[in-house]
Amino acid sequence: MASYQADQLKEQGNAAFRNGEYLEAEALYTQAVQKYSRNPLIYTNRANVRLKLQQWDGVVNDCSKSIEITGANAQNHKAWYVLAQGQLGLHHPNEALTSALTAYDQVLHPQPTAKISAKDLETFSAFVLKCKKAKFAARDLGRLRRQGDLRAELETMLETQRQRDLDEVTTQLRRSQLGNIEASERSQEITTTLDDKITSLRTVFAAADPANHKAREVPDYVIDMITFEPMHDPVMTKNGHSYERATIYEHLKRSPTDPLTRDPLTIRDLRPNFGLRAACEAFWDSGASEWIADWS
């Protein structure tokens, strides 16, 4: 009985979410879990709303609760994906990457009864890449700072300023001094301005000291020929070329042919390319993100 009422409230919460009424949706989901606290979907949905409200701690708590209910090894890819986004919001890119990889793995090897959306693999794959970039950017910046690198120090200062500005927006949002759309626009503006400043900074340093600050070449073998992005789960075709798994899956959905030769090709013909995957990992490890000229 209680779980039925909880479901009703969850549906109302979903409707509010679709209408963009995020505070309303959060309140409804909260009422729902008070009626019945063992439905993992309600926690996942509330976490999703909290992403919009930029309440990162709340996101992590709710996702953790949802995963606790289903069990850490059970199918719950949406919770892992939302968790990854929350962890990224909290600037914990290592944890975000682990969560993102779990979500990706769960849609790649789903339980038979799992409900996967057609776009999930592509979305989760792109998010894994985003977390990787965040993780290695943070790590490389930290290392440079410890070495006394001036550019790294200045970048860190700019990042701190950005975080202060974004936190200000979050506070205003919570105090209802800002609407959702406005908050989202301001956050976007803050991020873009900061990205531009960092690009300018790097350009200036490169001009002043080209030997030490020139852009790293990204080797071709790391890059997916279709998206032009670095790969994290490369798969190989019969003729020896490799592509990012999610990308070639998307291509094969529309045209079951090899992108280079146009011979027939299906997902079953693809093989994981562990050697290339290791080479891509090694490339990240080598401090390549230091000069993310064309990667951001």
Partner 1 sequence: MAGMSGKRLQKELAKIQGVLPPGISLVSAEDLREWQMDLIVPDNPIYPPDEEYRLRFHFSANYPIEAPEVVFMLLSNPERKIPMHPHIYSNGIICLDLLDKQGWSPVHNVESVCISIQSMLASNTKAERPPGDAEFVRSNRSRPRDINFLYHDPTV
Select 146 or 262, whichever has its Cβ closest to partner 1: 262
SS3 226: coil
Select 120 or 149, whichever has its Cβ closest to partner 1: 120
To the nearest whole angstrom, how small is the minimum distance from the Cβ of residue 270 to partner 1? 15
Q: Exposed (0-12), middle (13-18) or buried (19+): which is 37, by Cβ within 10 Å?
A: middle
To the nearest whole angstrom, how small is the minimum distance from the Cβ of residue 247 to partner 1? 8
Select 190 or 252, whichever has its Cβ closest to partner 1: 252
Instruction: Please answer whether residues 161 and 119 qualify as being in contact, where contact means their C-beta atoms are separated by less than 8 angstroms.
Output: no
To the nearest whole angstrom, how small is the minimum distance from the Cβ of residue 121 to partner 1? 11
Residue 235 parent element (H or E): strand 234-236
- Chain residues that interact with partner 1, rule: CB under 8 A: 119, 122-123, 126, 225-229, 247, 250-251, 254-255, 257, 259-260, 262, 294
Nearest-angstrom CA–CA distance, 212 and 217: 14
User: Please, which residues have CB within 8 angstroms of residue 83's CB and are 6 or more apart in sequence?
Assistant: 47, 59, 60, 63, 64, 67, 99
Select 119 or 214, whichever has its Cβ closest to partner 1: 119
To the nearest whole angstrom, how small is the minimum distance from the Cβ of residue 79 to partner 1? 22
Select 147 or 228, whichever has its Cβ closest to partner 1: 228
Select 114 or 223, whichever has its Cβ closest to partner 1: 223
To the nearest whole angstrom, how small is the minimum distance from the Cβ of residue 148 to partner 1? 32
To the nearest whole angstrom, how small is the minimum distance from the Cβ of residue 229 to partner 1? 6
Instruction: Please answer whether residues 110 and 86 qualify as being in contact, where contact means their C-beta atoms are separated by less than 8 angstroms.
Output: no
88-94 contacts at long range (C-beta below 8 A, 24 or more positions apart): 88/130, 88/131, 88/134, 89/51, 89/54, 89/56, 89/59, 90/56, 90/57, 90/60, 91/138, 91/163, 93/131, 93/134, 93/135, 93/137, 93/138, 94/135
Nearest-angstrom CA–CA distance, 157 and 168: 17
234, β-bridge pairs: 244
To the nearest whole angstrom, how small is the minimum distance from the Cβ of residue 254 to partner 1? 6
Select 23 or 126, whichever has its Cβ closest to partner 1: 126
